[in-house]
Amino acid sequence: STIPIIDIKTTTLSIVLRVGCTRICKKKKNCLQKRQRARDAMPTIPISPCLRGHAPRLFSARHVGNADMAAPIVSALRLGLWTVILLFSALCIPSALALIEGLYCGTQICYDVLGVSRDAAKAEIGRAYRQLARKYHPDRFHAGDPALAGESADSAHQKFLLIATAYETLKDEESRRDYDYMLDHPEQYYSHYYTYYRRRLAPKVDVRIVILVTVCAISLFQYYSWWSSYTEAINYLTTVPKYRIQATELAKQQGLLNRTKEKGKNRRSKEEIREEEEEIIRDIIKNKIDIKGGYQKPNVADILLFKIVLFPYHMCLYVAWYCSWIYRFSIRGEEYGEEEKLYIIRKHMKMSRAQFDSLDDHLRQTFMERQLWKKENYEVYREEQEEEMKMKMATDPRWKRYRRWMKSEGPGRITFIDD
């Protein structure tokens, strides 16, 4: 009869396990026999009478000879010895290791350079610096001075630089705090490097000057851009026939275009005459047309610099106006005037003053006739405008083409399909 496959696998696995276990047991038995022969062969160590009671447990040759116990004991003794040596070395490390060459006063303590303590006040540090600076300054150095016996010009100069470095380090509160931290925490080696060079390489510019220059640059850009927009609007209006004809008629009435023709050397070319007429028409349009909104004539009071300077004044005006509004219309219940009604309408429409002023006069008159300062009237007007916009979009050919394209093509999608 055939044996099932699973029985063959089970039988094979059991045979392999039995063979492996047998080999392991033989190896273990051989190791134990060798260890026993080694213990029996070792001589007995002589033991002091005072330790004879503990000898069988600690100093018997049979136990000391045991390799499993002797090796850990020796390793522990070596580790303990090295630990004691390292601790003793750490306690004997001098404090000069807290000083780093190239940082602050180098391997010397800045307080010792100036001859002051760490608790010295700023005035005391200044007095010590002035005394040492007068002594070691290169301009005051004399070779025969008894106070500088044994000093050369180069060594005195190096000492003066070290004294100046110590004073620059300790006179500033933040720099002195960083230096004290380095003395107290010498292990933070890289942190001291970063702190030192961050302070040294940082641009020493007053923040107020940076802010002032930035505000002035923004203000100049605003003023230039507003003038460009205003000039663009004037140039456009000179090309509109309606305004150009009115400006030409007004110039003729003022006698600006009816001058007699010059003769002889004073005679001008047609190009010069045309340029002069364009300049006259442009000046009349500038003076007669009041442009509002984003293309209005620039006002110096509207740029950022003057807004910041005049902010307290405008803030006081706003507070006074708001208090007056509350008192007149909320407490006393007065009727709104035309200016107040237009202000409420503008707030309902969420438009700025420039945007609202750029609207046509007849449109603002429509707002007043429909009483849009009342919230319910404004909601009705807004819904009407939305319906009108929908109707306009429904009849507009461009919107029709767009709807047909959306219906056939659909909105654009980003896919990762190759086709």
Closest CA relative to residue 372, chosen from 339, 353, 344? 344
Convert the pLDDT of each residue in 308-319 to its tens digit: 999 999 999 999
> What is the DSSP secondary-structure string of 277-313?
HHHHHHHHHHHH----GGGSPP-GGGSHHHHHHTHHH
Q: Is the pLDDT of residue 333 over 80?
A: yes
- Six-digit token string for 109: 């303590």
- Give 63-67 contacts, CB < 8 A, sequence gap 24+: 65/38, 65/39, 66/35, 66/39, 67/35, 67/38
Q: Is the pLDDT of residue 365 over 50?
A: yes
Q: Which residue's entry shows tokens 């025969």?
A: 144
Query: How far is residue 151's CA from residue 154's CA, in Å, rounded to a whole number?
Result: 8
Question: Residue 130 is which amino acid?
Answer: R
Q: What's the mean pLDDT in 265-282?
A: 78
Q: What's the mean pLDDT in 76-83?
A: 62
Convert the pLDDT of each residue in 21-48 to its tens digit: 555 556 556 666 666 675 665 554 444 4
Query: CA angle at residue 304 from 302 to 309, to 5 degrees?
Result: 90
Looking at per-residue pLDDT, the higher value among 3 and 297 belongs to 297
Q: Give the length of the chain.
A: 419
pLDDT value at position 320? 95
Closest CA relative to residue 367, chosen from 390, 389, 341, 385? 341
Given a contact cutoff of 8 angstroms between Cβ atoms, the answer to whether 162 and 105 are in contact is yes
Question: Residue 28 is which amino acid?
Answer: K
pLDDT value at position 391? 82
Query: How far is residue 85's CA from residue 195's CA, in Å, rounded to a whole number?
Result: 34
Query: CA angle at residue 36 from 34 to 38, to 5 degrees?
Result: 70
Given a contact cutoff of 8 angstroms between Cβ atoms, the answer to whether 219 and 304 are in contact is yes
Closest CA relative to residue 180, chosen from 123, 130, 105, 250? 105
Query: How far is residue 242's CA from residue 237's CA, in Å, rounded to a whole number?
Result: 9
Query: How far is residue 228's CA from residue 295's CA, in Å, rounded to a whole number?
Result: 9
Convert the pLDDT of each residue in 239-263 to its tens digit: 888 888 888 888 888 777 765 555 5
List of E strands, 134-182: none
Query: CA angle at residue 214 from 210 to 220, to 5 degrees?
Result: 145
Given a contact cutoff of 8 angstroms between Cβ atoms, the answer to whether 305 and 217 are in contact is no
What is the DSSP-derived secondary structure letter of residue 116?
-
Question: Residue 207 is which amino acid?
Answer: V
Question: Which of 173-187, 244-258, 327-341, 394-408 bottoms out in mean pLDDT, i.e. has the lowest?
Answer: 394-408
Indicate the Cα dihedral angle 261, 263, 266, 270, nearest 10°. Answer: 50
Determine if the pTM surpasses 0.85.
Answer: no
Element (H, E) at 77: helix 67-91
